[in-house]
Structure 1
Amino acid sequence: MTLIDAAGAHHTPDPAARIVSLVPSVTELLCDLGLASQLVGRTGFCIHPADQVAAIPKVGGTKDVNIDKIRKLAPTHLVVNIDENEKPTVEALAEFIPHIVVTHPLAPRDNLDLARLMGGVFCRDSEAAAWCAQFEAEYAALQATPKGPPRTMLYCIWQDPWMSVSPDTYIARMMAEIGWRLPPMREPARYPRFEWNAALVDAIDGVLLSTEPYRFTEAHADALKRQIGKPVHLIDGEMMSWYGSRSLAGLRYLRAIAEGKLLV
């Protein structure tokens, strides 16, 4: 059986794989598929599930990895993500790691292909199938939940400079599941910078301050609300941006928002 990753590379199943994961959300998925014992390296941001990742050596961050440390771990497979990891770093690691598995989920339902890819490459097909069944149930429950009227919400991931997300991101497509859309941005970047002005404020119904990668707090939300005079909500960044295992909780989180139980 041949499996194709997000970069178009072909992979065959390897039950004895030694895996380094540079993607926190995928690290969690691999553990949930029963592969914790085969994970020989992870980033410091790979924090879930805490009881399992504690025993896995850290190899740096998602972008500033320790190449020499990874070399000593002698992995056979490296799992990376197009958005989260730097191409030059991945190319340097590819010089001594035989198999680079590239991921790039862009929408909630892409999690199904992600789980099947991980399950297929690392010989956990039945576990991946069971996980996909859970996802389908959570997704169906969200689809059955009545949605409110469409709202234009500015999703903020950073300040100084202020940064948002483009429509071509996993976050934007999570928002779309409950009828939220992003305002148009002047900068055509994937993660555009912006400045607060009257035109932008007039174009939005509210603001979402994500708890990651910038650690926005309720204090930030209160200050911005006073500044712009629009609703400002703190939103859980893991629920909105982590694919893989955490997407199950993310779908439940969206359902709670749609039902008016959060961000009211």
Structure 2
Amino acid sequence: MIDQINRTVTLKTTPKRIISLVPSQTELLVDLGLEDFIVGITKFCIHPKHLKKSKTIVGGTKNIKIDIIKELKPDIILCNKEENTKEIVQECEKIAPTHVSDIFSLEDTKELIKQYGTIFNKKNEALSLLNKLNFEIGSFSSFIKDKDYKKVAYFIWRKPWMVSGNNNFINHLLTLNKFSNIYVNKDRYPEVDITKIQEEGNPDLILLSSEPYPFKEQHAFEIQEHIQHAKILFVDGEMFSWYGSRLLKAFDYFKQLHNRI
């Protein structure tokens, strides 16, 4: 098996003891029928909600407890290039075969679902999930085709103010929504000066994500001081940044979001 950063992952048998270091991938495993095989997750793996009560917490996405991971004797460890550091992947490789995902688009997500279907002998479940996802994408494409493009700024952090730029999954989903990211000329997750937001793009919409920073009304007022006509909306960050099976819910959410505009 070649993972999504072109590493060879060698598996002698179907893994039965899984550690997931990525919240959205943990949810995907459950929806593929693999909950009973998950032995370790991060403290951020909050879907489904009951999982943290029954599985061992092995740390966060950026700070893992390597001794606990060793004690769990995993057959495979699942990582992501953005969520986990290179050092974490290297440490995990010393313990068990380690698969790394790298997600920038819906096609990358579909490929990951296929790979998990193969790795865990869940090809039928993966195909079913992909069929549902393709239906949701098709339905949303019909919904969005006559919508006008709107200029947006998608905020993910405060102090410093940070936004979604180009070259990430959030920007891909913004594009699918006909949201033209005013910071698309900046890479990844840049810091920005909100006092210059009008001259840097003058967006129609300001989207304040629910994660990783918990934006509140007072933060909207801070931004409002520097724009004239833009509408500010609080949005569910999981719908814009979680890939895998979360996308089955995302496109209905996007339809509701457009109806709020």
Same fold (TM over 0.5): yes
- Whole-Å Cα distance in 2 between the matches of residues 200 and 84 of structure 1? 32
In the TM superposition, what whole-angstrom CA distance separates every residue of 1:193-214 from its partner, at most 9, and x where no partner exists? 1112344465322211100000
Number of residue pairs the alignment of both structures matches: 257
* Partners of 1:13 and 1:122 within 8 A in 2: no
Mapping for residues 224-263 of structure 1, pairs under 5 Å: 224-229=223-228, 230-258=230-258, 260=259, 262=260
Mapping for residues 1-264 of structure 1, pairs under 5 Å: 3-11=1-9, 12=11, 14-97=13-96, 99-146=97-144, 147-184=146-183, 188-198=186-196, 199-200=198-199, 203-229=202-228, 230-258=230-258, 260=259, 262=260, 264=261
* Partners of 1:154 and 1:206 within 8 A in 2: yes
Aligned alpha-carbon RMSD (Å): 1.9
SS at match of 1:126: helix
SS at match of 2:16: coil
TM-score by length of 1: 0.91
- TM-aligned CA distance change 1:232 to 1:32, over 3 Å: same
* Partners of 1:222 and 1:232 within 8 A in 2: no
* Partners of 2:43 and 2:57 within 8 A in 1: yes
SS at match of 1:54: helix
TM-score by length of 2: 0.92
In the TM superposition, what whole-angstrom CA distance separates every residue of 1:212-238 from its partner, at most 9, and x where no partner exists? 000112342244324433321111100
In the TM superposition, what whole-angstrom CA distance separates every residue of 1:92-130 from its partner, at most 9, and x where no partner exists? 121122x11111121123221111111111111111011
The one-letter code matched in structure 2 to 1:203 is: N
Structure 2: runs of 5 or more not aligned: none
SS at match of 1:109: helix
In the TM superposition, what whole-angstrom CA distance separates every residue of 1:21-73 from its partner, at most 9, and x where no partner exists? 00000000001111111111000000111234431110110001111111111
Structure 1: runs of 5 or more not aligned: none
- TM-aligned CA distance change 1:213 to 1:101, over 3 Å: same
* Partners of 1:108 and 1:247 within 8 A in 2: no
SS at match of 2:105: coil
In the TM superposition, what whole-angstrom CA distance separates every residue of 1:122-161 from its partner, at most 9, and x where no partner exists? 1111110110011011001001114421111010100100
